[in-house]
Amino acid sequence: MKTWTLTESDIERIAIGTGILGTGGGGNSYLAKLMAREKLRQGHEIKIIQPDDLPDDAIVLAVGAIGAPTVGLEKIEEGFEGDRIIDAMEQATGLKIAALIADEIGGGNGLSPMNPAAVRGLPIVDADGMGRAFPETQMTSFFVGGQATTPAALTDTHGNAMVVTAVQDAVQLERMMRSMTITMGCSAFMATAPMTGAFIKKHSIRHTVSFAWELGNAVLNAQDDKTDPVDAVLATSGGRPLIRGKIIDIERTLSGGFARGLLNVAGLGDDTGRNVKIDIQNEFIFARENDEPLVMVPDLICIVDSKTGKPIQTEELRYGLRISVLCLPAPRYLRSDAALDVMGPRAFGYDCEFVPMDEPYDPAPVKFYKNTAKSITEET
């Protein structure tokens, strides 16, 4: 089996990349980075494995935070939520978890498996269920592929836990999980039903941890070389620029467990005279100019600082901030008819068909994987 053992430098790069892929949401990657880095300093290891190295019968658990990013920035995780949720799922199912995977690679959730993986000695799969961040539980390639809706679990910073064992579909699961998350203070840690290695190979968005690393590496290299980090992100991702400008208005509310709002960007430089508006539901969902659609889910609308390339989340938006809005193509899996039913513009209430911005980009694994003597079953 090939494994990639993360260093602090790797985590720094992954955090920047997941921040970009978070499309404004997915939780704060800076806080998640600090927690993962601390685990390394305590002597733990964080190992990444490729999807194809999973035994078909290995039991894989998808984990991540749920709630409003605005709350998650202030209501910091206690640190052992993931460990508790593994216990809850193993007790509920009688199964032994062999590996973890991020429910979504975007934002802090892209790093969310790292704490429990370090504590439990479990590997993390180089993949996720979105290739970005989405606001609702059912919006994953896992559920599109037929993942079971039960059992699922939630826990919070106070040690409260809930296992959901009777749900008719993934939309109902979202409603139940969202309702309990609001009760837990609009921020909680979740796991959905365990999956097999065979299922992950077929229905995950592959090599997204590697992709996040590549994006973060591009930003840091550009900063060191004093070149444009925005151009570096575009060259690495297969994306294109939408507008460079400044924020002239931001409306933001907390409603139904989501951060909702509208962002108004006025162009600067070559984009002077342009005005782009972006709808927010935890993430950047839909961009338009002069009431004409520009980019829409599931394609990625990503916002970074125009000078540093630092990803900017919805809760960090403020008047006057100089930003670059980028468009990255959605993973191939998300462009299927079945996925668009769940994650396309109509799923968010827009009366239009999905118009892709470009051909999908297929990331490759980084070159840091090394052969090891042990298999995942021997390690766990």
Question: What residue spans in the chain does CATH classification 2.40.390.10 cover?
Answer: 230-348
Average pLDDT over residues 47-74: 88
CATH number for 230-348 (one of 3.40.50.20, 3.40.50.300, 2.40.390.10, 1.10.3720.10): it is 2.40.390.10
* pLDDT score of 257: 66
pTM for the whole thing?
0.95
How long, in residues, is the chain? 380
Which pLDDT tens digit goes with each residue over 195-247? 999 999 999 999 999 999 999 999 999 999 999 999 999 999 999 999 999 99
Edge-first strand listing for the sheet containing 258-267 = 292-296, 283-289, 275-281, 258-267, 240-255, 322-328, 300-305
CATH number given to 2-208+364-375:
3.40.1610.10
The band of 7, judged by pLDDT with boundaries at 50, 70 and 90, is: very high
The band of 77, judged by pLDDT with boundaries at 50, 70 and 90, is: confident
**C-beta of residue 208 within 8 angstroms of C-beta of residue 292:** no
**pLDDT score of 2 more than 60:** yes
**C-beta of residue 310 within 8 angstroms of C-beta of residue 292:** no
Average pLDDT over residues 28-57: 96
Q: Which residues contact 258 (CB under 8 A, 6 or more apart)?
A: 68, 135, 281, 282
280 three-class SS: strand
Tokens encoding 370: 């090394």
Which pLDDT tens digit goes with each residue over 8-17? 999 999 999 9
Phi, psi at 274, each rounded to 5°: -90, 155
Strands 59-67 and 99-102, sheet pairing: parallel
Share of the chain above pLDDT 70, in %: 96
Give me the chain's average pLDDT, please.
94
* More confident of the two residues 266 and 80: 266
Q: Which residues contact 85 (CB under 8 A, 6 or more apart)?
A: 63, 116, 153, 154, 155, 161, 189, 190, 191
**pLDDT score of 72 more than 70:** no
Share of the chain above pLDDT 90, in %: 85
Of 260, 261, 327, nearest to 293 by C-alpha is 327
**C-beta of residue 127 within 8 angstroms of C-beta of residue 60:** no
Question: What residue spans in the chain does CATH classification 3.40.1610.10 cover?
Answer: 2-208+364-375
Which pLDDT tens digit goes with each residue over 148-164? 999 999 999 999 999 99
- Measure the N-to-C terminal CA separation of the chain; round to a whole number of Å: 13
The band of 78, judged by pLDDT with boundaries at 50, 70 and 90, is: confident
H/E element holding 218?
helix 208-225
Strands 292-296 and 258-267, sheet pairing: unpaired
- Residue 288 CA to residue 271 CA, distance in Å, equals 15
* pLDDT score of 80: 86
The band of 374, judged by pLDDT with boundaries at 50, 70 and 90, is: low
Tokens encoding 122: 């479990």
- Total Cβ atoms within 10 A of residue 119: 16
DSSP tally for the chain: helices H, then strands E: 12, 18
